[in-house]
Structure 1
Amino acid sequence: MQSRDLQLKQLLETDLDVLIIGGGINGASVATAISSSEYRVALVDKTDFSSQSSQNSSGLIWGGIKYLQSGKVFLVRQLSRQRNALMRAYPSQISETRFLLLFDKENWIKRRFVYFGTWFYWLLGGGRTDRPRLVKKEEIRQLEPALARKNGFTGVEYSDATLVDGDARFVFNLIDKATRNSSLAINYLTVTGLNFTRHEGGSAWCVSLFDEINQKKITINTRVVVNAAGPFADNINQLAGVNTKYRHVFSKGVHLVVKRFADPGRVLSFFSSDGRPFFVIPTGGESSIGTTDTKVCNQDTHVDEMDREFILTNLNKVLAKPFQLSLTDIISERSGVRPLAVSRKNEELKNFFHLSRRHLIESSKDFPIITIFGGKLTSCLEVGTDVRREISSFLDSPNILFQNHWLGEPDAKTMSEFLDLAGSMMNHKNLPDALFKRLWRYYGEDAYNILIKINSEPDGSAIILKEFDITRAELDFIRENQMVMKLEDFIRRRTLFALTFNKQELSDLPGMWQACEILFGDLAGSRYDEYFG
């Protein structure tokens, strides 16, 4: 990815074909889907990429088994096939994961019912994952010693998938791929005005933007706008003077991250007091617990006392006393809104908690603007393909050439060659194999550049942040290629530091200040204070 300043310069010198507003999973998938075309494309976000809903998900790539309860069989089939496609396309970043759903001894009938449901789920997914199975209480006691024995838990085990390095990293990798195909992507660029004009030579949107980093106003032109602003999509449409058939309602989801107490190789699941499935999800060596589902009226949410009490109370019901958790055990918290698409005709939502995360694409009849309502990580490939089709119709270019396989990471052979080369070059550097596997997941073929720096520069192999084996060479690469403008961008969205350490622990990490100096140079002090206060 080119530097922010260089991309800003190119943006000001270019009349765009497509401007994508929003750098979450929807915007990222659209940018990647159309970046292989001849279109002049830019993506902008008012904060950092993936800094809203897309950094606060459960990190699950799943087929939506819970939607079977409300009879949404076709939706589950779609999501399961999309999950399979993502696992094939991103084998190092998305891992098939076993889910162990717990039932206490009083719920044996429900356990049987769910067991048959998981087989139906498996069939809807084309049988592409490991098969479901029943798990006896003796095995569960061996697998998960932290669980309360008095509950006599038995279980049902089935497969879905998880993001190995979290949601924000996956979204950034999509955006990074789009920029390598000549698209522009710029963070901290707020849309402040949208004005559509028609004239003899054609028509265009005049877009007013505010550069939050340089504190400057700029103006650009684009033929088509893609509104991928997630929970802020309705605000963008209002700014553009566009009326839509659909709108968003919001559900708040909260996760708490605590020290790992469950097997890191699986997701543990149980039913909360309100009947919803709760998950204990491996997160950077720790455990993420959630999620809640609370109807809220706006996009700005935070974790409150009731959220913490609800999650910990439900979790402690299934844990043995020595493993039960309190507020002091919380490492970090996540709170985000799920934007749920509904018709504007539905003023009263009688079944709010049965709403799904399905996406809806709406093109305006009066203006060349496409809005994405709803959506989730699992459906990102379909979102990209659907919006690409709509863009082609707006630009009268149905025959424009696209890469058919716009998704995916380099193939397994290329990854194997990188890991072999890393092993042969790094034997004398005494660096762990896990470091090179992570470099590949994070940077793909760009990891070769880091490898060269590690091998050739005197201090390139020096590990600055040992908690994730981050070297000087990697930090140099991040500074030059990952558009890290604030410390939070690095420790929350390019890595998992902010999820797996609390603020005090982060500030006490021996290499944190040095990393800040490498990333920000003369601005290190202000960036450090901006985050830590």
Structure 2
Amino acid sequence: MQGDLYDVLVVGGGVNGTGIARDASGRGLSVLLCEKDDLASHTSSSSTKLIHGGLRYLEYGEYSLVRKALQEREVLLRAAPHIMWPLRFVMPHMPNLRPAWMIRAGLFLYDHLARRQLLPGSRGIDMRRHPAGAPLIDSIKRGFVYSDGWVDDARLVVLNAVDAREHGAVIKTRTRLVNANRKDGLWHATLMDSHSETFDVQARSIANAAGPWVSELLKGTLGSGTHTRHTVRLVKGSHIVTQRLFEHDHAYIFQNPDKRIIFAIPYEHDYTLIGTTDLEYHGDSSKVTISPEETAYLCESINRYFKKHIGPEDVRWSYSGVRGLLEDENAENASAVTRDYLLELDTPANQAPLLSVFGGKITTFRKLAEEAVDKLGEALQSPAKGKTWTEGAPLPGGDIADADFDRFLASLQQKNPWLPADLAHRYARAYGTRAQRVLGDATSLADLGNAIAPGLYEAELRYLRDNEWATCAEDVLWRRSKLGLHVGPETLDEVTRRIDGWFVQPLQASSWTAV
């Protein structure tokens, strides 16, 4: 790669960076994406994992953002029905908080700001009769139900990267941008890989999609001569995961007295995902963890509604991320900071353009990427300008007929009757129509190789290594899947050691027995 020239160098392997790489490469631009860690290793795997318009943003007057997100919601649900699916949300009514008329008005707007085809509208419910009322305290008599969507956020990022590569992009994970400077109408950049080896590339433009680090790059790594009028506010969001707190398939959205919103969502079949917090953050964005105070806050929020109370001792897993939100001087607190995005294009005369991404949310990543490539195409005077293509294009594995996941799953099981039902379901969810690529020519579990952990066979590890940039146990257990949750705490260290060992010397796995 030494000295190679690209149309676009994308910095950042989160959802915005991989979305830009996918869109740009699909329009015929040559693309190199570099990510200093693994794909989706920070903000983009630390979300509440929702494809949603953002009901609460209506309260802040963010009508344009909500409309844009609602429009994208159904586009994404059709593009990847294996990793995204509709979800019904229940909002219990607490008379001492937002009045019922305000909630009804908000839900009416939410239903009608954008056209709906896949998702049913909202309605009022009697909590004493609805299954979602059973786990809640008896004083809750009424509520509302509405629709949004669920997404496996880390896999969404990986699938964008896979699609980008299949359209010609070069994806370099664990590769850091050391510096970049403009010279003779090009960017001259030095990158460093995980072995501390450096190489130089040239690019006609740079897309700075570094998320929480976008301003840091502008101030240092991208050299002198870059100009920006914007910055990001770092906001920390934390989540906890407990054993399953309810049996039905609806999620909850709870109002807190401080006007924040907390979700309780069915997660990985056996668990409940609870979050999120919104706190100003001033530390190292790559070393963020949940605090005891955040854990207590989330537990208290749940205990305000559920009959069965939880405490810190019930937390099975937690995760935290830092969102680089567009700085909003008018926002009184972190919860009120806009989730909209801004694309800033720096184009000095006769110099290579720099596009920086400020803010954004996972639901609008595709639209953000489309607009970013439009701007870059115009700045580069490229014939690719205007040839948008991603709105109707499925993500890898998402070409499921009529977006009917259940029918697709039945077909996969019919073709592979030897495959256990739970494993067939997980493969179908994770890989969609590409599940057969994981299975290869296997006709029995033995053909998949050793079970390095329950339900994790060598065939899948090979697929993740060769096709999805996985290099270690953390990539596999916590980003490409959530198998780490399903491994007992007493064996997690051993499973982690085995997977890490497989990536170093896969042939040695032939002598292992399953944990």
Instruction: Report the alpha carbon displacement of residue 444 of structure 1 after superposing the two structures with TM.
Output: 4.0
Instruction: Report the alpha carbon displacement of residue 279 of structure 1 after superposing the two structures with TM.
Output: 0.4
- Contact 2:260–2:335 at 8 Å: present in 1 too? no
190, 198, 206: which one pairs with 2:188?
Answer: 206
Aligned residue number for residue 3 of structure 1: none
The CA distance in 1 between the partners of 2:96 and 2:178, in whole Å, is 54
Is 1:237 aligned with 2:233? Answer: no
Aligned residue number for residue 130 of structure 1: 120
Instruction: Report the alpha carbon displacement of residue 86 of structure 1 after superposing the two structures with TM.
Output: 1.1
Instruction: Report the alpha carbon displacement of residue 152 of structure 1 after superposing the two structures with TM.
Output: 2.8
The CA distance in 1 between the partners of 2:506 and 2:450, in whole Å, is 22
Which secondary structure does the structure 2 equivalent of 1:176 belong to?
helix
Q: Which string of whole-angstrom CA distances, capped at 9 and with x for unpartnered residues, describes residues 111-138 of structure 1?
A: 3420232122101132432121111131
Aligned residue number for residue 266 of structure 2: 282
Matches within 5 A, 1:171-320: 171-198=157-184, 203-212=185-194, 214-238=195-219, 239-240=221-222, 241=224, 242-263=226-247, 265-285=249-269, 286-300=271-285, 301-320=288-307
The CA distance in 1 between the partners of 2:2 and 2:423, in whole Å, is 39
Query: Identity, % of aligned pairs?
Result: 24
Which secondary structure does the structure 2 equivalent of 1:455 belong to?
coil
**Aligned length, in residue pairs:** 494
Instruction: Report the alpha carbon displacement of residue 414 of structure 1 after superposing the two structures with TM.
Output: 9.3
Is 1:58 aligned with 2:40? Answer: no
| Distance 1:197-1:278 versus aligned 2 partners, 3 A rule | same
Matches within 5 A, 1:345-356: 346=329, 350=332, 352-356=334-338
The CA distance in 1 between the partners of 2:410 and 2:279, in whole Å, is 48
The CA distance in 2 between the partners of 1:245 and 1:447, in whole Å, is 46
| Distance 1:459-1:179 versus aligned 2 partners, 3 A rule | same
Q: Which string of whole-angstrom CA distances, capped at 9 and with x for unpartnered residues, describes residues 101-120 of structure 1?
A: 1124x449713420232122
Aligned residue number for residue 106 of structure 2: 117
482, 486, 508: which one pairs with 2:472?
Answer: 486
The CA distance in 1 between the partners of 2:488 and 2:401, in whole Å, is 39
Structure 1: gaps of 5 or more residues? 1-10, 526-533
The CA distance in 1 between the partners of 2:206 and 2:71, in whole Å, is 29
- Contact 1:250–1:299 at 8 Å: present in 2 too? no
419, 440, 454: which one pairs with 1:452?
Answer: 440
The CA distance in 1 between the partners of 2:186 and 2:411, in whole Å, is 50
Aligned residues: CA RMSD: 2.7
The CA distance in 1 between the partners of 2:434 and 2:316, in whole Å, is 32
Letter in 1 for 2:317: S
- Contact 1:231–1:299 at 8 Å: present in 2 too? no
Which secondary structure does the structure 2 equivalent of 1:279 belong to?
strand
Is 1:443 aligned with 2:409? Answer: no
Letter in 2 for 1:206: H
| Distance 1:362-1:401 versus aligned 2 partners, 3 A rule | closer
- Contact 2:53–2:148 at 8 Å: present in 1 too? yes
Which secondary structure does the structure 1 equivalent of 2:7 belong to?
strand
Q: Which string of whole-angstrom CA distances, capped at 9 and with x for unpartnered residues, describes residues 19-65 of structure 1?
A: 10000011011011112233221111111111111111100110111
The CA distance in 2 between the partners of 1:302 and 1:368, in whole Å, is 36
Instruction: Report the alpha carbon displacement of residue 143 of structure 1 after superposing the two structures with TM.
Output: 3.1
Aligned residue number for residue 513 of structure 2: none
| Distance 1:523-1:204 versus aligned 2 partners, 3 A rule | farther
- Contact 2:13–2:35 at 8 Å: present in 1 too? yes
Structure 2: gaps of 5 or more residues? 510-515
- Contact 2:177–2:192 at 8 Å: present in 1 too? yes
| Distance 1:100-1:216 versus aligned 2 partners, 3 A rule | same
Aligned residue number for residue 149 of structure 2: 161
The CA distance in 2 between the partners of 1:153 and 1:181, in whole Å, is 53
In terms of mean alpha carbon deviation, does 362-371 or 514-523 score higher? Answer: 514-523
Q: Which string of whole-angstrom CA distances, capped at 9 and with x for unpartnered residues, describes residues 285-332 of structure 1?
A: 211111111122345332111111111122112221xx2112111111
The CA distance in 1 between the partners of 2:47 and 2:433, in whole Å, is 27
TM-score with structure 1 setting the length = 0.85
Instruction: Report the alpha carbon displacement of residue 220 of structure 1 after superposing the two structures with TM.
Output: 1.4
Is 1:27 aligned with 2:17? Answer: yes
The CA distance in 1 between the partners of 2:419 and 2:363, in whole Å, is 38
The CA distance in 2 between the partners of 1:421 and 1:452, in whole Å, is 16
Aligned residue number for residue 530 of structure 1: none
- Contact 2:347–2:379 at 8 Å: present in 1 too? no
The CA distance in 2 between the partners of 1:79 and 1:235, in whole Å, is 28
- Contact 1:262–1:268 at 8 Å: present in 2 too? no
Aligned residue number for residue 148 of structure 1: 137
The CA distance in 1 between the partners of 2:507 and 2:210, in whole Å, is 30
Instruction: Report the alpha carbon displacement of residue 211 of structure 1 after superposing the two structures with TM.
Output: 1.1
| Distance 1:505-1:463 versus aligned 2 partners, 3 A rule | closer
Instruction: Report the alpha carbon displacement of residue 12 of structure 1 after superposing the two structures with TM.
Output: 3.2
Is 1:495 aligned with 2:478? Answer: no
In terms of mean alpha carbon deviation, does 93-102 or 12-21 score higher? Answer: 12-21
Normalized per residue, which structure has more helix? Answer: 1
81, 89, 95: which one pairs with 2:85?
Answer: 95
